[in-house]
Structure 1
Amino acid sequence: MATDISRTDLVDLSIGEIQLDHPNWIKELILTSMKEAPLGYVDSQGMKSLRSAYASYLFKAGNSINEEQILITSGAKEALWMAFLISLQPKDTILLPKPGWSPYYMWAQALGAVIRTYDPRDKNVADVIINEISSYQPSVLVVNFPNNPTGAEISQMELNRIVDSAQDYQVKVISDEVYRVFASTKESAATILGRINSSQSQNLIHVDSMTKMLGLGGLRIGFFVSDESTIEKIRNFRASYASCVSSLAQCASASILEDERLINHIQALVRVTKQNLKSTVDQLLKHQYPVESSGAVYVWAKYQDSEAKAAPSKHIIINGRHVKAALGSIFGAPEYFRLCPVRPQYLLNSILF
């Protein structure tokens, strides 16, 4: 049963955000670093300290990127928007995931692009994408694994095959990797970072952020990684409308990325996320909601038959509590809904038990 009635006991799991409390060491680092931050304009490419800290973070994971290949943005959303702006011309073809994040479609339409789609859930998704590339030769391919909203993943080998095909046809690849730390295995934490320094790196863009990785959306820090010539182009364009990203947020982010406790914290965050996903899946199945997949920070499920025949609601009911979900229609799949259960345990307990 679904309802649109507004209730004071509504549990909101519709927003794709990690809403867990942060450890004291992160809060203290933010306060300390902000006190020492410069209060004037800083480098429009991003402060060197933060670019260096992110490069070091990537290096520890086996990816060699230098600070000149990194540009700091106001969250991943700005990084992705700029990637679209520099990559698309009117009537260019762009290949997008469906189900997929709705801003991809808004931006492509605003820029006059022709949209083709692929299903990130397809078991042979690499073959599907490669066939689309060879058949239609799009100007731009967007990959987002783990996928929002479905949590679908891809192996590094499959992603490499896709990039090889894209480079054969000179297709620009924009890889939205904001959920990569939540991949179920190391092999499925696929990235294009290892290809950024290749001979055709001008056609590769990697995007990441502090928002999904650490639940620090309020800092509004994103990372745009590409070859140095693309970074310079983006830097000059960005400076025309935004002098720099907040120096306070950049200093705070650099301090967090450099801290030796970071990796253990991310691992703990991933464990809690996976536990919450499993508990939510179990309850949805108990209440006869067909769960198709879970991954990244999301559960992707279908409405019950009676709900699907009517207009799908933003609210579902679990254990008598009204739970707000993100409508699947936002992602191009109206028969589905998405939940993000990365919330405090007391809140989840109110609907899970």
Structure 2
Amino acid sequence: MTTASPTRTATPSPILLMARHAAALRAQGQDVIDLTLGEPDFDAPAHVLLATHAALGQRQSYSPANGLPRLREAIRWRVRHDRGLHYREDQVAVGCGAKQVIFNAFMATLQPGDEVLLPAPYWASYPDMIRLCGAQPVVLPTTAAEGFRLTAEHLAAALELSPNARWLVLNAPGNPSGSTYSVAQLRELAEVLRGYPQLMILSDDIYAEIRFTDQPYATLAAVAEDLNERTLLVDGVSKAYAMTGWRVGWGCGPAPLVAAINAIQSQNCTQTSTLSQLATIAALEGERDFLSERNAIYRQRRDAALAVLRTSQTLDVLSPEGAFYLLPRIKGTHDDQDVAMDLLKVGVATVPGSAFGAPGHLRLSFATDQATLVKGCQRLVSALGDRP
């Protein structure tokens, strides 16, 4: 069988690969604690389940490729209410999760020779998405000392060296770092971006509602509205609403880009599930008291895991400001993939940091119950010991 050229070939998700390893060992009767998947262990909100049950008796017809009109209105209202941003109906694209919206945006705009600026650590799927669309990721390493944030100085230097850059990806709170940006930091980035009008900005806000700081949420689209003619704000219900399998995400941005995204959507899968869209309407229009309650639980889990990990002389780990991941660094020179496989043998599944552009690190998800999480971290610390 002949496959596509290397620039258009994807590799399997390293996150799902480690999760499959863990599942295979459990199927053999081994006790394995799985800290790989970024999947909330909560149920979808009760009012969403009730609305979905009520809709089951209705005919689920095709919707427009860009989603049901009422869903697009609910998205516009939610973005206006939460972020003070106003989008027209033709500036909203709906897809099968935020992931598909991002892919469709890249597919609509990237050509061979184009580059995408990708601050690291980054979500593991970004590089393959970019390559599948014929372009190349340009990785911009960040450091723990910078809080794993892209600085304006670093961005300016990268743009000078990347004349073919077509997109900049910003993901905050970040997966896997949990880092957020302040208004001041985003304004500094925006000042640099104003000098490069050919550059599109992807603002991946999928973890926007899962935060542990007191400062209001800041997104580039709200901080620098003059850049909105080339900014795509992406979000969805997977993380905040614990609706990963429902597969509904959206993008808000310039109408020509949204039209191109919708055209691709109409050809590659027509639409996301009508039933899932109805559930998402209920999620966006309904009460959201559960968000603060769940964030408090996530914060407790984060702190409990940090307390265990910080007993190790082998690990350095920052406290994430959002999302539900920890990214401990293994001190010394170690192959994080080998370490992750060694940990799997003693019953704890993690993801190698190299999958996220963070070699020498491990990613742990704390989207699991606290007792299991603590037990997994204890196994990890014990297995690593005091290796140099």
Q: Place the TM-score, normalised by the shorter chain, in its bin.
A: 0.7 to 0.9
- Asked whether the 8 Å contact 2:47–2:282 carries over to 1, the reply is no
Deviations 1:34-57 (A, max 9, x none): 444x41111111111111112222
Matched, 1:115 2:137: yes
Partner of 2:75: 54
Matched, 1:145 2:183: no
Q: Kindly tell me: are residues 190 and 344 of structure 1, through their superposed partners in 2, closer, same or farther at Cα, counting changes over 3 Å?
A: same
Runs of 4+ in 1 over 4 A off after TM superposition: 304-310, 349-353
What is the distance in 2 between the residues matched to 1:310 and 1:133?
31
Which amino acid in 1 is paired with 2:126? Y
- Asked whether the 8 Å contact 2:316–2:331 carries over to 1, the reply is no
Partner of 2:113: 91
Partner of 1:250: 277
What is the distance in 1 between the residues matched to 2:319 and 2:57?
40
What is the distance in 1 between the residues matched to 2:336 and 2:112?
38
What is the distance in 1 between the residues matched to 2:366 and 2:290?
19
> Percent identical across equivalent pairs?
23
Q: Kindly tell me: are residues 306 and 158 of structure 1, through their superposed partners in 2, closer, same or farther at Cα, counting changes over 3 Å?
A: closer
Residues 237-316 of structure 1 correspond to what in structure 2 (within 5 A)?
A: 237-259=264-286, 261-262=287-288, 264-295=289-320, 296-303=323-330, 305=332, 308=335, 311-314=338-341, 316=343
Q: CA deviation at 1:22?
A: 4.3
What is the distance in 2 between the residues matched to 1:335 and 1:350?
22
Q: Kindly tell me: are residues 303 and 197 of structure 1, through their superposed partners in 2, closer, same or farther at Cα, counting changes over 3 Å?
A: closer
Q: CA deviation at 1:234?
A: 1.6
157, 166, 174: which one aligns with 2:202: 174
Q: CA deviation at 1:350?
A: 4.4
Does the residue aligned with 1:206 lie in a helix, a strand or coil? strand
245, 248, 254: which one aligns with 1:218: 245
Residues 154-173 of structure 1 correspond to what in structure 2 (within 5 A)?
A: 154-170=181-197, 171-173=199-201
Q: CA deviation at 1:306?
A: 8.6
Deviations 1:256-283 (A, max 9, x none): 1111x21x11111211111111111111
**How many equivalent pairs are there?**
345
Which amino acid in 1 is paired with 2:118? L
Does the residue aligned with 2:310 lie in a helix, a strand or coil? helix
Q: CA deviation at 1:141?
A: 0.9
Q: CA deviation at 1:210?
A: 0.7
Residue range with higher mean Cα deviation, 163-172 or 186-195: 186-195
Q: Kindly tell me: are residues 281 and 349 of structure 1, through their superposed partners in 2, closer, same or farther at Cα, counting changes over 3 Å?
A: closer
What is the distance in 2 between the residues matched to 1:54 and 1:221?
11
Q: Which consecutive unaligned segments of at least 5 residues does structure 1 have? A: none
What is the distance in 2 between the residues matched to 1:310 and 1:106?
19
Q: CA RMSD in A?
A: 2.8
Partner of 1:29: 51
Q: CA deviation at 1:166?
A: 1.9
Does the residue aligned with 1:240 lie in a helix, a strand or coil? helix
Which amino acid in 1 is paired with 2:38? G
Q: Kindly tell me: are residues 219 and 253 of structure 1, through their superposed partners in 2, closer, same or farther at Cα, counting changes over 3 Å?
A: same
User: Normalising by the residue count of structure 2, what TM-score does the alignment of the two structures yield?
Assistant: 0.80
Partner of 1:348: 373
